[in-house]
Amino acid sequence: MTRQTLTAMVHSRSYIITASADERARIDREIGALFDEVGAVGDQSVALPYVTHAYRARRP
């Protein structure tokens, strides 16, 4: 996942969309710091598994 892809994914979450501008800016800084920390700069990507678990219940 590239920095741009992860940032776009984070920005699509409802808790980010409804967050204050300051909170969104802080999250963007932390995403950037995370990629800087692992050495993924520019268009470099990192392996970031993304798993979704879904559950369904049926009423009798």
Per-residue pLDDT of the chain (60 residues; tens, 9 = 90+): 888 888 899 999 999 999 999 999 999 999 889 888 887 777 788 888 888 899 999 998
Structural domain containing residue 1:
1-60
Residue 44 CB burial class (10 angstroms; 0-12, 13-18, ≥19): exposed
| Total count of domains within the chain | 1
Q: Can you give the pTM of this predicted structure?
A: 0.68
